[in-house]
């Protein structure tokens, strides 16, 4: 019975010893910086001015020991950390509403101060939200929109036939988006390092967009501009069409006039030739001349006389010469 109790007691002691041993051991990764606290006070390193410690008098990664259940290990990242801001609506100096989306890179350079002020990375993210969002608002509000959205000087590339109005021209700027981001970095960086042990490595404007109301106005202006350009091209096209049609009509009239002139010349030559042929054919003897005169008179009768035509002529008219000859003589 005593042996059984002794075995159970020994097993319990061994279990407690194992738990105590594993609770006293901690491993420091090469990407971490660590210090140990006891009842909320830093006990490692002994020098309280030292920023972080991975073990007694050591800075490298490895296996270390602490007092179990009393001392607590606080690891912090050595690597660069990311801060991603929440998109906010900001008013520029020229009273335009825009949405800005920002991000930054930071790291912990004073773990003791960092632990005392913000405790952990979540607390640091909240402080960065307050400080960087505020600084970015201040910088954007102190500059015109062109300073926020432009990063380099350039000229608008347009078609040769397109003329931009004053609103469509690219306005020059003094500083640009990169300089404004550097202002935020310079303004917020020293404060973060002195108060929270955070080094701000980089700050950038990730995305800038107009507010919904401003976007609608811009779209309307773009539509108006496109409509104006389309109307300009349409007007130029109608003008060119009128010129082409006018030239076409002039060319048609010229061709028709030249054709009519040529037709009349050919017809005149043909008529003259026909007259010569007739003259040569019917001018061979008095009988032929009289026969020609008879034929032409008959053609004239055919073309002028009908049942609906009434002629009043004198009795000695040459027009009635053959009619009188064909009329029967009165007894």
Phi-psi domain of 53 (left: phi exceeds 0; alpha: psi -120 through 50; beta: other): beta
Q: Is the pTM of this model over 0.85?
A: no
Q: Which residue has the tokens 């990311």?
A: 82
Does the pLDDT of residue 55 top 60, yes or no? no
**Do residues 144 and 99 lie in contact, with contact meaning Cβ atoms separated by under 8 Å?**
no
Does the pLDDT of residue 327 top 60, yes or no? no
The last residue of a domain, from among 210, 228, 259: 210
Q: Is residue 266 part of a domain?
A: no
Let me know whether 41 and 137 are in one domain. no
Confidence of residue 51 (pLDDT cuts 50, 70, 90): very low
Q: Is residue 318 part of a domain?
A: yes
Pick 95 or 321 by higher pLDDT: 95
How does pLDDT run across 110-123, given as a tens digit for each residue?
A: 888 998 899 889 99
Angstrom CA distances, 211 to 76, 97, 167, 180, stand at 39, 6, 19, 20
Q: Looking at 28-42, 232-246, 258-272, 317-331, which range is the least confident one?
A: 317-331
Q: Total structural domains in the chain?
A: 3
Does the pLDDT of residue 163 top 90, yes or no? no
Let me know whether 88 and 203 are in one domain. yes
Mean pLDDT of 136-153: 87
Does the pLDDT of residue 48 top 60, yes or no? no
Angstrom CA distances, 124 to 100, 109, 111, 136, 197, stand at 21, 13, 12, 18, 10
- The percent of residues in the chain predicted with pLDDT above 70, rounded, is 82
Confidence of residue 263 (pLDDT cuts 50, 70, 90): very high
Collapsing DSSP states into helix, strand and coil, what is residue 117? helix
Let me know whether 196 and 313 are in one domain. no
């Amino acid at each position: 019975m005593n042996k059984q109790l002794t075995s159970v007691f020994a097993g319990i002691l061994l279990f407690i010893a194992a738990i105590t041993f594993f609770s006293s051991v901690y491993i420091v990764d090469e990407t971490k910086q660590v210090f140990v606290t006891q009842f909320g006070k830093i006990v490692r390193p002994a020098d309280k001015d030292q920023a972080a410690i991975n073990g007694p008098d050591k800075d490298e990664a490895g296996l270390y020991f602490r007092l179990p259940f009393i001392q607590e290990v606080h690891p912090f990242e050595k690597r660069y950390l990311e801060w991603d801001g929440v998109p906010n609506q900001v008013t520029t100096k020229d009273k335009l509403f825009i949405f800005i989306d920002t991000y930054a890179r930071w790291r912990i350079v004073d773990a003791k101060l960092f632990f005392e002020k913000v405790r952990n990375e979540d607390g640091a993210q909240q402080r960065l939200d307050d400080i960087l969002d505020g600084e970015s608002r201040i910088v954007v509000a102190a500059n015109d929109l062109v300073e926020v959205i432009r990063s380099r000087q350039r000229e608008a590339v347009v078609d040769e036939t397109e003329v931009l109005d004053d609103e469509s021209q690219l306005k020059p700027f003094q500083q640009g988006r990169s300089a404004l981001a550097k202002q935020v970095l310079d303004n917020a960086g020293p404060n973060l390092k002195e108060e929270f042990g955070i080094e701000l490595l980089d700050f950038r404007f990730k995305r800038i967009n107009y507010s919904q109301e401003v976007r609608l106005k811009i779209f309307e202006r773009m539509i108006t501009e496109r409509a104006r350009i389309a109307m300009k091209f349409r007007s130029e096209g109608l003008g060119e069409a009128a010129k082409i049609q006018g030239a076409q009509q002039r060319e048609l009239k010229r061709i028709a006039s030249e054709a009519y002139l040529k037709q009349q010349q050919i017809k005149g030559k043909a008529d003259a030739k026909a007259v010569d042929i007739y003259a040569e054919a019917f001018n061979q003897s008095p009988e032929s001349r009289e026969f020609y005169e008879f034929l032409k008179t008959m053609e004239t009768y055919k073309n002028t006389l009908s049942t609906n035509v009434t002629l009043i002529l004198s009795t000695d008219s040459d027009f009635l010469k053959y009619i009188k000859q064909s009329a029967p003589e009165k007894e």
